[in-house]
Amino acid sequence: MQIGSHRFDKPLILAPMAGVTDRPFRQLCRRLGADLAVSEMVTADTSLWGSKKTLSRLNHAGEQGPRWVQIVGADPDKMAQAARINADLGADIIDINMGCPAKKVCKVAAGSALMRDELLVGKILEAVVGASEQPVTLKIRTGWDHSSKNAEQIARIAETAGITALSIHGRTRADKFAGEAEYSTIRKVKQCVGIPVIANGDIDSPQKARKVLEETQADALMIGRAAQGRPWVFGEMRHFLDTGQELPPMPTDKIAAFLLEHLEQLYSFYGAEHGVRIARKHIGWYSRSQQDAGRFRDAVFKTTSPADQKRVVQEYFNNIGQQTRVLKGAARAA
């Protein structure tokens, strides 16, 4: 797959997720096997760029390239300006969000709401491509709802406008994240355009990754929710795709080590107070498959300092590790 001058072989990509794919998480996922990572969406309304949230989303200091930045908006001129500014700030690839199903985004006719206006889609794509020296990509859904699926039409508009790659989440906006993603539309889009197509939606295991590649014939996979609390999923998928063999489950002590590393990066990036708050959801995701996770999350929520938060995390995973060792010893003795 080629995006501008950047070439990849069936890459595994971290999907853009608001409030999740900040710089610390992108960097950790890249280190653990993601070939690429897309930033949280940045509004095209530059008058809002003074907020701490947006400033953090514009921060790519020290981040491994290529840096892939997503912008969101409904005004062609503002989107073009946002693309230029993000390129000046270090973006190597610009992605346009036409897939977000959030109500606050769609009510201003941005995100997936744009799929209802194909004329405006064309104007936005042409404006951004024309304004950017960097390659421009597009992320969409299969349509607004099941009675108006138009991913193929949007894909053709995108290719004509000069979009270099297209990511498709296999649901309509009406579906949000309910039900199962369908891949037949992604395959149809792949067959009707010549630009790379990236499949997204419900890719949550190495086996599912291979199945989706086979069903869609996509050039790449984009993984979102499956990476929450499991940033090593990219390495698991790559190993399976390359060898046909599954890696053993991630040991508890390594999960703890990755989590503690992630926490340190969050505290450094956001500052102690805000970092502790941001960390809570990540800790919940890391622990969701562990025992007594509900009580652990309650304890984590009460922590107010990095030291206390790390202490609670370390004690919890130490206890799990100790119980696992006891059970293994008893099994060997039996």
List active site positions. 100
Q: What is d(CA 72, CA 298) in angstroms, rounded to the nearest whole number? A: 35
Tokens of 110: 């941005």
**Taking the C-alpha atoms of 79, 2, 196 and 161 in order, what is their torsion angle to the nearest 10 degrees?**
40
**Chain centroid offset of residue 139 CA:** 11
Angle ∠(19,22,24) on CA atoms, nearest 5: 135
12 CB-near residues (< 8 Å, 6+ apart): 33, 34, 35, 36, 209, 220, 221, 223, 234, 237, 238
Q: Give me 205's structure tokens.
A: 């295991």
Q: Which residue has the tokens 């919940």?
A: 284
- Give the burial string for 255-292 (b: 16+ CB within 10 Å, else e): bbebbbebbebbbebbeeeebbebbeebbbbbbeeeee
